[in-house]
A and B are shown apart, each in its own frame.
Chain A
Amino acid sequence: MSLAEEQSVDHGAEAFVRFDKVQKSYDGEILVVKDLNLDIPEGEFLTMLGPSGSGKTTSLLMLAGFEPATHGEIYLGGQSINNVPPNKRGIGMVFQNYALFPHMTVAENLAFPLLVRKMNKADIEAKVQRALEMVELPQMGGRRPAQLSGGQQQRVAVARALVFDPKLILMDEPLGALDKQLREQMQYEIKHIHENLGVTVVYVTHDQAEALTMSDRIAVFEDGIIQQLSTPDDLYERPQNSFVAQFIGENNKLHGKVSKIAKGVASVDLDGGGTVTAAAVNVSAVGERTTLSLRPERVEIEPAKGQTENAITGEILELIYLGDHIRTRMNVAGNTEFIVKVPNSAGNKPLAEGAKVNVGWQSMDCRALDALG
């Protein structure tokens, strides 16, 4: 790998990829990426997750070398790559539309990075064949990309990014064009390839399910800033702010005002009436406005007395039968989009629309976050 002759930086030694105070603006007026600090260890599968316009793709393009950083340094293997052109970075990339060259066969596409490296013909053939076998398309070398299905094109694109043995692979929404079933299958395949080869992967997506399935760690982007950087379970169960809670998984929001904070537990007076307790995550003072975040599967209907720390009465507005569970939309403390997932298990009392029922949850399952949103 050829890198810039810049000095190796000590603090970049641990991380394989490091963004250090990176900022990016296209027009000199708006910062698309505000202050990106991110360390990615070697071999990690890191996902940049966020809505469109959150700065995740721009960050990826800066890492690939297609966009210069307006401020800050990007390190790869401990050395700054700000002044290294994309073709000298040795980073494999998979694009959203696959970017397979339509005028070349699949084998020629795979051979492209090897030809650039002036490898000899026999080695190229062997490597191309091995790459095709890795993505389970050993017979497809002679086809043109247009003759392949979407899923097959996707596999070829992955194989092409891997064939020259890069240490780092970037993927920019690579599964966006596939249908749901194929997308799920490809998620597992990419995950397995990552596990088998041990390469570092930086993956960009706006699909939170995809991010949860595949990643070691997820960086949630919004407004040019990483809102939270954690493992998938952490992100889902312990969101640090309202945006993350709302963006990852299904979430019930309750607005209110903090009336007491003690030992990490906050008492909150709900705007719709009633007082509940919740884990104090993002609140610091009494009187502060807060948004409570509560996962639908952590809410119980008609809990036995004393079984849950919180209990409040709500009205059932809508029942949607989904086989394994019944999705129940309720009005709880003024929130008419309050969702409860009632498991379809034996002995459950049948629910009726319009009925008033008690709902309850444990304080630690409910998180008091910032009031935003």
Chain B
Amino acid sequence: MTDATLSTTGAAAPLLAADGTPLKEKLARTTRRMKMRALLLTLPLVLFLILSFVLPIGQMLYRSFNNPTGSNVMPNFAQAIKNWDANQGIPSDDLVEIFVKDMASAKKNREVGKTIGNLATRVNYEIPGSRSLFTKTARRAGKITEGPYFEALVKIDKRWDNPNVWRTLQRVTNDFTLSFYLAATDRKYDSSGAIIMADELYQIYLPILWKTIWLSALITFLCFIIAYPVSYLLSTLPLATSNLLMILVLLPFWTSLLVRTSAWIAMLQKSGIINNVLVYLDIIADESRIQMIYNITGTVVAMVHILLPFLILPLYSVMKTIPPSFMRAARSMGASNTYAFTRVYFPQTIPGIAAGTLLVFILAIGYYITPALVGGSDGLLISNLIADHIKKTLNWSLGAALGTILLVVVLLFYWIYNKLVGVDNLKFG
């Protein structure tokens, strides 16, 4: 269609402004200044977004599959082993010589990120318990001055005779690696280099990821059950009453997250208010107080409370736009209250439901502080593990891989939502 219009206008003389310049050019010239100014105004925001959002996330994504520890510690060996065929089992003595020399020089290196210790940690992720192999070998590597180098290594530690060690070394000295994604999904390389599931005992990330997803779904559902009638009341009550109710909704929203979470601790703990009341009313015995916090229940209760406004507000703003005459019209045409609600009212609130539930689900799936405070060990979510890897174990690549997987999951849900509801149907208010 555009082609057709272009050719027809192209055949005729282009439209000219009063001073003889083509109209399009004239228009572009007059609007250019405005566009430039508009662009300039957004520049600080664009820079801020790049610095605070695009760059860190990009770096995180990159770190999840790029870990240069191996090549930093042993630059020559990393280069040499690149083309080695892992099926040979044991590398040639030339290669081992380079390895030993790199070991010896790395031993003297004190630069952060380039020490033997760094390499040992990195290999230890792949072969648990291999740390001592490296520290021990590095201490003696300087004394090996002539070949055969391989026999010398085996003399230091028998484990060098294992082809899996060399195969792993080849992988580790390659900057680009999938091993963190494998670890994040409870998989690993077996001794032949094939990808297998980790031993059941070591499978932690996938179960926690599933738990995070279903807990988030549960929290979203509970929020929806509570938020729908509240929003309905908010949108239909007389102004004075609904304003009061709105303040009751917003007041906790404005209170610090930490305060609200701590308040739940005071409420739910074994010697907390709810248990005390139950004991006082003789509903439960003093010795059988209910454990309601530091487990999944605590996480769910606190998170539902904290995320509730994120569902109420979009729902309210959508319900506010539905005039009462719709229900009246349906009633006047013979529909019962239930029928009118399910066929007329409810369908019109779907954009609000979609927006609210999507918002709550995405917030819940990445929630950190509340599960950390009230979740105990049961109620931990995937973000708590990510934080652990970033802050405690310092395995940033694994943390980054987990974070990336979480991001992909969120985008996936967003995509499904878009398919089901249509993103342009979402109404946040």
Q: Establish whether residues A97 and B323, one from each chain, have CB atoms under 8 Å apart when the complex forms.
A: yes
Residues of chain B at the chain A interface (Cβ within 8 Å): 323, 325-326, 328-337, 339-340, 343-344, 347-348
Q: Establish whether residues B325 and A164, one from each chain, have CB atoms under 8 Å apart when the complex forms.
A: no
Which residues from A are CB-within-8-Å of B331? 65-66, 85-87
Mostly helix, strand, loop or mixed at chain B's interface?
Answer: helix
Given the interface pairs A64-B328, A95-B325, the reply to whether A101 lies near B333 with Cβ below 8 Å is: no
Beyond the given pairs A65-B331, A87-B335, A116-B339, 15 more chain A to chain B contacts, judged by CB atoms under 8 angstroms and listed by A's residue number, are A65-B332, A86-B328, A87-B332, A87-B336, A88-B334, A97-B323, A97-B325, A99-B328, A101-B348, A102-B348, A113-B334, A116-B334, A161-B332, A164-B333, A170-B332
Nearest CB in chain A: distance from B150 CB, A: 75
The verdict on A103 contacting chain B, using a C-beta distance below 8 Å, is yes
Interface centre among B329, B331, B347 (most CB of A within 10 A): B329
Which residues from B are CB-within-8-Å of A87? 331-337, 340
Q: Establish whether residues B326 and A117, one from each chain, have CB atoms under 8 Å apart when the complex forms.
A: no
Q: Establish whether residues A99 and B326, one from each chain, have CB atoms under 8 Å apart when the complex forms.
A: yes
Give A91 to B326 CA distance when docked, in angstroms.
Answer: 15
Which residues from B are CB-within-8-Å of A97? 323, 325
Can you list 20 pairs linking A and B with CB atoms under 8 Å apart? Answer: A64-B332, A65-B331, A65-B332, A66-B328, A87-B333, A87-B334, A95-B325, A95-B328, A95-B329, A99-B329, A101-B329, A101-B330, A102-B348, A112-B330, A112-B333, A116-B333, A117-B334, A160-B333, A161-B332, A164-B333
Q: How many A-B residue pairs have CB under 8 A?
A: 64
Which 6 pairs across A and B sit closest by C-beta, in order of nearness? A113-B333, A99-B329, A93-B332, A99-B325, A116-B334, A86-B331
Which residues from B are CB-within-8-Å of A360? none
Give A66 to B343 CA distance when docked, in angstroms.
Answer: 19
Give A96 to B329 CA distance when docked, in angstroms.
Answer: 11
Residue of A nearest to B351 (CB): A103
Residue of A nearest to B346 (CB): A103
Residues of chain A at the chain B interface (Cβ within 8 Å): 64-66, 85-93, 95-97, 99, 101-103, 112-113, 116-117, 160-161, 164, 170
Give A112 to B336 CA distance when docked, in angstroms.
Answer: 12
Which residues from B are CB-within-8-Å of A66? 328, 331
Nearest CB in chain B: distance from A101 CB, A: 6
Nearest CB in chain A: distance from B420 CB, A: 15
Nearest CB in chain A: distance from B140 CB, A: 78
Which residues from B are CB-within-8-Å of A64? 328, 332
Residue of A nearest to B333 (CB): A113
Give A112 to B335 CA distance when docked, in angstroms.
Answer: 9
Residue of B nearest to A61 (CB): B328
Nearest CB in chain A: distance from B302 CB, A: 36
Q: Establish whether residues B334 and A101, one from each chain, have CB atoms under 8 Å apart when the complex forms.
A: no
Q: Establish whether residues B347 and A103, one from each chain, have CB atoms under 8 Å apart when the complex forms.
A: yes
Residue of B nearest to A101 (CB): B344
Residue of B nearest to A116 (CB): B334
Nearest CB in chain A: distance from B422 CB, A: 13
Which residues from A are CB-within-8-Å of B348? 101-103
Give A170 to B328 CA distance when docked, in angstroms.
Answer: 12
Give A95 to B333 CA distance when docked, in angstroms.
Answer: 12
Nearest CB in chain A: distance from B333 CB, A: 4
Give A99 to B335 CA distance when docked, in angstroms.
Answer: 15
Give A93 to B328 CA distance when docked, in angstroms.
Answer: 9
Q: Establish whether residues A93 and B335, one from each chain, have CB atoms under 8 Å apart when the complex forms.
A: no
Which residues from B are CB-within-8-Å of A116? 333-335, 339
Q: Establish whether residues A112 and B328, one from each chain, have CB atoms under 8 Å apart when the complex forms.
A: no
Give A92 to B329 CA distance when docked, in angstroms.
Answer: 9
Nearest CB in chain A: distance from B342 CB, A: 12
Nearest CB in chain B: distance from A93 CB, A: 4
Which residues from A are CB-within-8-Å of B337? 87
Q: Establish whether residues B326 and A90, one from each chain, have CB atoms under 8 Å apart when the complex forms.
A: no
Which residues from A are CB-within-8-Å of B329? 93, 95, 99, 101, 160
Which residues from A are CB-within-8-Å of B325? 95-97, 99
Residue of B nearest to A113 (CB): B333
Which residues from A are CB-within-8-Å of B326? 99, 101
Residue of B nearest to A86 (CB): B331
Residue of B nearest to A91 (CB): B332
Nearest CB in chain B: distance from A106 CB, A: 14
Give A93 to B325 CA distance when docked, in angstroms.
Answer: 10
Give A66 to B334 CA distance when docked, in angstroms.
Answer: 13
Per a CB cutoff under 8 Å, which of A86, A101, A102, A117 touches B332? A86
Nearest CB in chain B: distance from A171 CB, A: 11
Nearest CB in chain B: distance from A167 CB, A: 13
Residue of A nearest to B323 (CB): A97
Give A112 to B332 CA distance when docked, in angstroms.
Answer: 11
